[in-house]
Amino acid sequence: MDAPADEYATLAARAEAALTVRGSRFLALAIPAREPGECETELAARRKHLHDATHHSFAYRLGEAGAVWRAGDDGEPAGSAGKPILGAIEGAGLSDVLVVVTRYFGGTKLGVGGLARAYRAAASGALTKGGHAVRVLCAVLDVAVPHERVGPAMRAVAGAGGRILTSRYDADVLLAVEIRRSRLEGLRAALLEATRGEIRISAR
C-alpha cells in the first residue's frame, strides 16, 4: 500500500556497518540529516575522525521527494562510490539521510564494478541497522476567533488531530494550529462549523 502523500520514510538513528573486500576495509556511517549544511558538517567531522583513511565517499538525499541530493567519490573512479551509496539510500526508500563510507585500501584493486558493489553493500548495511522512521509533513494555520467561540474552536482542532502551537488573547483569540497536510481541509471545515463561520483562517 502506498504511503500517504504527506509522509515519507527516513532514518531512525545513526548507525554504522563494516565490510572487508579483498583486504580493503569499508566503514559506513548513516546519519539522519535535514539540511545540506548539516551534511557537510558531519562529513567534515568524519574525515577528521578517520583522517588516516584512503577515501571518504558519501551521498545524501533530503526533502519529501529526495529532491535535494549530492554524491561524491572522493578520489575513487567516477561513479564507483558516491553513486552506489546514493543508490542504496534510494533503494531503501529513505530521505533526510547522509551516508559516508570510509575506505582503507587493502593493497588490491577492486575495479569499478567491485568498488560499486562494496560501497553500496556497506551503505545498505548501515541504513538497515539505523532503522526507519516516518516523517509527517504538517501545515500551520493562523486562526482568529471571537472569545465566545474559542471553546468550540479548540475542540474542533483536537477532533481533527491538530495541535495548538501558540495562543494569544487580544480583541479575538489568536491561535497558531499545526495539522498534517492531509487533514488540513477537514480542519478548516470543522472550524467553520464549530464557530458558525465566525472565524478567520489563513495558512502560512
Q: Strand pairing partners for 69? A: 61
Given this model, what pLDDT does residue 14 score?
97
Helix (H) or strand (E) holding 191, with range, is helix 184-194
Per domain, the residue ranges of the chain are 7-135, 138-203
Given this model, what pLDDT does residue 1 score?
42
Q: How far apart are CA 134 and CA 3, in angstroms?
A: 10
- Closest C-alpha among 177, 162, 176, 181 to residue 8: 181
Given this model, what pLDDT does residue 13 score?
97
Given this model, what pLDDT does residue 163 score?
96
CB atoms within 10 A of CB 184: 19
Q: How far apart are CA 168 and CA 53, in angstroms?
A: 55
Given this model, what pLDDT does residue 124 score?
98
Question: What backbone phi and psi angles, to 5 degrees, belong to 183?
Answer: -105, 5
Given this model, what pLDDT does residue 28 score?
98
Q: What is the pLDDT of residues 41-55, one digit of tens each?
A: 999 999 999 999 999
- Location of C-alpha cell 567534515: 44
Given this model, what pLDDT does residue 3 score?
52
With beta carbons less than 8 A apart as the criterion, state whether 88 and 82 touch: no
Q: How far apart are CA 26 and CA 43, in angstroms?
A: 16
Classify residue 80 as exposed, middle or buried by CB count within 10 Å of its CB (0-12, 13-18, 19+): buried
CATH topology of domain 7-135: Ribosomal Protein S5; domain 2 (3.30.230)
In words, the CATH class of domain 138-203 is alpha beta
- Asked if the domains at 7-135 and 138-203 fall in one CATH topology, the answer is no
Q: What is the pLDDT of residues 1-37, one digit of tens each?
A: 445 678 999 999 999 999 999 999 999 999 999 999 9
Q: Which amino acid is at 181?
A: R
Q: Mean pLDDT, 10 residues at a time, over the chain (204 residues)?
A: 74 97 96 97 97 97 93 96 98 97 93 96 98 94 96 96 96 96 94 95 92
CA 7, 9, 11, 12 torsion-angle sign: positive
Please give the model's pTM, rounded to 2 decimal places.
0.82
